[in-house]
Amino acid sequence: MKMIKILVPIFILLSFTVASCAPETLTTDVSATQLSGTILDEYTFPAMYEVPTDELLAEFGISDKHFSEVSAYTTEEPYGIERVFFAIVKDGESIENAKTELTAYFDMIKGQSANYDPVEFAKAENASVYSNGNLLALVICEDSDGALNKVKELIK
Partner 1 sequence: MKITRLTALFLSALILLLSLHGCEKSQVADDNSDISAEAEIIEEIQTENTETEYTEASEIAPVQSNEEQVHGIPEIPEIPEVIEEPNIFALETHETFFENAAFVGDSVMYGLEIYSRRKKTIQSNATFLTISSFAARHALSDVTPNSYHPLYNGEKMKVEDALLLDGANKVFLFLGLNDVRVTPNEYFNNYVKFIDRIKETTPDISIFIISTTYPIESPHSMDRPTAASYRDQLKDLNEKLYNYSLENGAYYIDVITPLMSENGFLDNKYTSDSYVHLTNSAYEIWTQILDEYALSLINTGFPPTYEEATDDDITQSTTEVLTTENAPPSDIETEFISVESIQQEEITNETEEIQE
Note the residues at the interface with partner 1 (CB under 8 A). 49, 55, 58-59, 75-80, 112, 115-120
Q: How many CB atoms lie within 10 A of CB 9?
A: 9
**CB 113, min distance to partner 1, A:** 9
DSSP 65: G
Which is nearer to partner 1, 23 or 46 (by Cβ)? 46
Which is nearer to partner 1, 20 or 115 (by Cβ)? 115
Q: How far is CA 136 from CA 27, 60, 119, 122, 150, in A?
A: 14, 13, 26, 22, 14
Which is nearer to partner 1, 78 or 92 (by Cβ)? 78
**CB 5, min distance to partner 1, A:** 58
Which is nearer to partner 1, 18 or 58 (by Cβ)? 58
**CB 76, min distance to partner 1, A:** 7
**CB 60, min distance to partner 1, A:** 12
